[in-house]
A = this chain, B = another copy of it.
Amino acid sequence: MSAATSFFRSRWIEAPEHVTELDSHALPAGFRAGGVAAGIKPEGLDVGVLVSDTSDTVSAACFTTNARVGAPVIVSRQADLGSLRAVVANSGCSNVGDGKRGLGTALAMQAAAAEELAVEPAQVGVASTGVIGIELPREPVVNGVRAACAGLGDDAADFSAAILTSDRGPKRACLGVELGGGSVRLAAQAKGAGMIQPSFATMFCFVQTDAELEAETIELLTGVCVKRSFDRISVDGQLSTSDTVFALAGGASGVRVEPESSDELLLGQALDTVLRQLALEIVADGEGCRRIGRIVVEGRPDAVEQVARSIANSPLVKTALHGGDPNFGRILQAAGQAWPPGDPFVADLEIEGRQLVSAGDAVGLTAADLRELEELVAGDEVEYMLTIPGEGGETEVFFSDLSPEYARFNAEYTS
């Protein structure tokens, strides 16, 4: 595989022509990062710091919508989210459910990074992932923050490793993006898997660019691209207490991207493909996951989302995906469950481009058709296309399968 295509692995993501893939752990100009082993996890890097050295850096943030959130989300929400200069993150403990002590530790992490980096505490975003309901030990984590600040370097290798929990490996990319006004870099480091030791699927994504953006531009691009990526995936239908996205634009490239310009569109396309590919990697990294599915639903605008989610979260659809079974009955059952009561439900269904259901009834497949279909659903990515009554709505959800390994891992781990 050529370097140009090694990151954009999914057939559902097409790399834009104005994008060049760089070393995955590289950073845009004006950014430094580091990671250390602070003893929060039994072994390995577990505390990371990322900083933008440009004083007029602009930023944007997105958080979980779970009503139950961890202390780092509470602290970060009160930060200056449009002008963050740094991110401090740890794995091994999510700092959730520890009351005032946990809040105090998140504030101490923020304050330590601010002091070391000579920025305001409100300019530091905080994110933690890992075991919940236990204490995040304050002294080791604060010492780790200071050590990471002391060892900042020009790449994100240690930073991207320090945020991982049960991920199989780092999820990151750095792209060169050709804009009309010149070249910029766009980098992102993510984490997230089917479930996170020991509890649930926290995802992080930290984005940097050296393009010079207005604050509203980074907020707009981040908001739109997160909705098209991390909001469109489901591993097990479980919403974490700690999901966090921080995006920072420092401007060190000297290439300015004006609002509503063609360069804004080009940068947005690059960000969109990066976040969508990273989102797919989170789905594919689901515990025990063998293959991933994409469900596209077209029809009544107020129904497509709930129907797509019902399918993506159905354990019966997910086990069929795992088993390489083109089981259309489970798709229709999950769709019918989510269809608004009272209205007739009639659907067409295609799997991998082959029509299996027409106007609600099974299309008689020949044995040869069925064999061909069984080969198609044995690949790494399986696509389902459902047309429901009504017009004008369309959505997609990417989802992992459900394997015996998922159930075993989540049953056997005891917090």
Contact = CB atoms under 8 A, between A and B. Distances in A.
A337 B238 contact: yes
Contacts of A67: 336-337, 339-341, 343-345
A1 interface: no
Interface in A301-345: 313-316, 319-320, 322-325, 327-330, 332-337, 339-341, 343-345
Contacts of A320: 410-411
Size category, A interface: 35 or more
A200 interface: yes
Nearest to A202: B333
A336 B66 contact: yes
Interface in A399-415: 401-415
A96 interface: yes
B315 A238 contact: yes
Interface stretch (A80-88, A147-155, A266-274, A355-363): A355-363
A132 B357 CA distance: 12
Given A96-B329, A200-B330, A404-B405, A337 B239 contact: yes
A237 B97 CA distance: 28
A394 interface: no
A328 B410 contact: no
Given A97-B360, A316-B238, A360-B97, A329 B407 contact: no
B315 A236 contact: yes
Nearest to A327: B415
Contacts of A336: 66-69, 239, 241
Contacts of A393: none
Nearest to A65: B341
Contact of A402 (B65, B315, B329): B315
Contact of A333 (B200, B334, B409): B200
Contact of A238 (B134, B238, B314): B314
B240 A333 contact: yes
Interface in A146-202: 195, 198-200
A299 interface: no
A133 interface: yes
A408 B402 CA distance: 9
Interface in A31-69: 65-69
B333 A66 contact: yes
Interface in A257-300: none
B96 A315 contact: no
Contacts of A199: 316, 327, 329-330, 333
A68 B337 CA distance: 7
A319 B96 CA distance: 21
A254 interface: no
Centre residue among A67, A97, A199 by max chain B CB count within 10 A: A67
B404 A337 contact: no
Nearest to A201: B316
A207 B406 CA distance: 39
A223 interface: no
A328 B96 CA distance: 12
Given A319-B410, A341-B67, A238 B333 contact: yes
18 contacts: A66-B333, A67-B343, A68-B339, A69-B336, A97-B361, A98-B362, A133-B328, A199-B327, A200-B316, A237-B314, A239-B337, A319-B411, A322-B407, A323-B414, A325-B411, A325-B414, A401-B411, A403-B407
Listed from nearest, the 5 A-B pairs whose CB atoms lie closest are A68-B336, A323-B411, A319-B410, A67-B339, A67-B345
